[in-house]
Amino acid sequence: MKFLARVIGSDIALWRVFWLIGIPLALVWDITGLSMLTGYGVEQPLVAGLIIALFTLSSAAIPFVSVAIWRSASRYPRQAWWRHLLAWSAKSCAVISGLAAALSLVAVLYLAYEFIDAAMIGG
């Protein structure tokens, strides 16, 4: 719990938040999203459910990690010109990935609502 408070409070260095938390989480999101698009694991309900659950959890976590990346990039020391570029690149990556994950989460929740609604009406 203390670690999460440090991440959100931007007490952790930008490279740690970006490379050790953000990139692995984005890879999980990308791989599970690609698996859903290609239909991998559709024939096995357990695998399909696991893929959907991982995608949903990573879609929910990425906006919070994006806020942590933004805050760490805001506190990044900028003595050289390339450090400004690095900080703004991290911020733009955080905004794009955060918005994409938030929209994906809304889509998954909408599909879950429609599925449950159809099951209730049809059942």
The tens digit of pLDDT for each residue in 8-56 reads: 777 788 889 999 999 999 999 999 999 999 988 888 989 999 999 999 9
Q: For residue 77, what pLDDT is reported?
A: 83
The tens digit of pLDDT for each residue in 109-121 reads: 999 999 888 888 8
Radius of gyration of the chain (CA): 18
DSSP-assigned letters across all residues of 58-90: HHHHHHHHHHHHHHHHHTS--SSHHHHHHHHHH
pTM for this entry: 0.86
pLDDT at position 123 over 60: no
Q: For residue 5, what pLDDT is reported?
A: 79
The tens digit of pLDDT for each residue in 60-110 reads: 999 999 999 999 988 888 788 888 898 899 999 999 999 999 999 999 999
